[in-house]
Amino acid sequence: MAKYRKKPIEIEAIQFIDDSERICEIAEFMGGDLRVNYEDKDNPYIPIETPEGTMKANVGDYIIKGIKGEFYSCKPDIFEQTYELINNN
């Protein structure tokens, strides 16, 4: 069996924190209108359309901009195991 290594790539990401300033930053990052779903007030989420279908970004999740400009959500533990901060602009 062949073994593979993930190519090192730089990504842009922002963590979903449920406050108005961060929600505005996420909307700007994603380049458009942003709707936070508050049906369950204790568990808000942002629906994200991806090539694989709709994903939910829950509070604490990271929203990642992919290499083709697509967006994904990623759980914080997976994000921290996979990515390291290279600069903080």
Taking a C-beta distance cutoff of 8 angstroms, is the pair 23, 36 a contact? yes
pTM over 0.85: yes
Strand partners, 47: 56
User: CA 32, 84, 80, 1 torsion: positive or negative?
Assistant: positive
> pLDDT of 17-58, one tens digit each?
999 999 999 999 999 889 999 999 999 999 999 989 999 999
CA 42 to chain centre: 20
> pLDDT of 61-86, one tens digit each?
999 999 899 999 999 999 999 998 88
User: CA 70, 44, 15, 33 torsion: positive or negative?
Assistant: positive
In a domain, 77, yes or no: yes
In a domain, 16, yes or no: no
Q: Residue 65's domain spans which residues?
A: 21-82
User: How many separate domains does the chain show?
Assistant: 1
In a domain, 88, yes or no: no
